[in-house]
Amino acid sequence: MKVTTNKKSTTLNKSIINYLKDQNKINDSVLVIINNLTIEELIAVKLEMSAKMINHRLFGLDIWRNSVYIIKEALLMFAISTTQSKKDAARFLGLTYLDFKKALKTYKVDNYFLNKD
């Protein structure tokens, strides 16, 4: 993944879309399809596909309570990928910078963008 360095940018212009394209997980045609779905439809499709993989044995997964964790992690990833700094990302999410740093540590989002080669 090509990362543009800027001394003022602490998020290094990270893009989830470019990151997934670099890993050949998505392409432009997939993005067009995703764009035509609502976020609720996209989540429902992903959950249905996951359920099929485990033969619809969903008992004990506690998805209702864990969905908050999943959504917060996605929001952190989005904020980092669309802002110029971590302070901007914190402001975007309505968090203090201290709470934002705690959330990054809790959800381990910073590690997501590290090159996994």
CB 84 within 8 A of CB 9: yes
- Whether the predicted pLDDT of 115 surpasses 80: no
Q: Which domain holds residue 52?
A: 16-113
Tell me whether residue 2 is in a domain: no
Residue 82 in domain:
yes
**Domain total in the chain:** 1
Each residue of 38-62: pLDDT tens digit?
999 999 999 889 888 888 777 777 8
Least confident window among 22-26, 99-103, 112-116: 112-116
9, part of any domain: no
Residue 1 counted as domain residue: no
| CA 24/CA 60 separation, integer angstroms | 33
> Quick one: 90 exposed, middle or buried, by C-beta within 10 A (0-12, 13-18, 19+)?
buried
With beta carbons less than 8 A apart as the criterion, state whether 80 and 86 touch. Answer: yes
Residue 4 lies in a domain: no
- Is residue 74, in this structure, part of any structural domain at all? yes
Has residue 83 been placed in a domain? Answer: yes
Q: Give the SS3 label for residue 94.
A: coil
Q: How far apart, in whole angstroms, are the C-alpha atoms of residue 23 and residue 6?
A: 24
- To the nearest 10 degrees (0 to 180), the angle between helices 63-82 and 86-93 is 130
The pLDDT mean for the chain works out to 85
**Residue 76 lies inside a defined structural domain of this protein:** yes
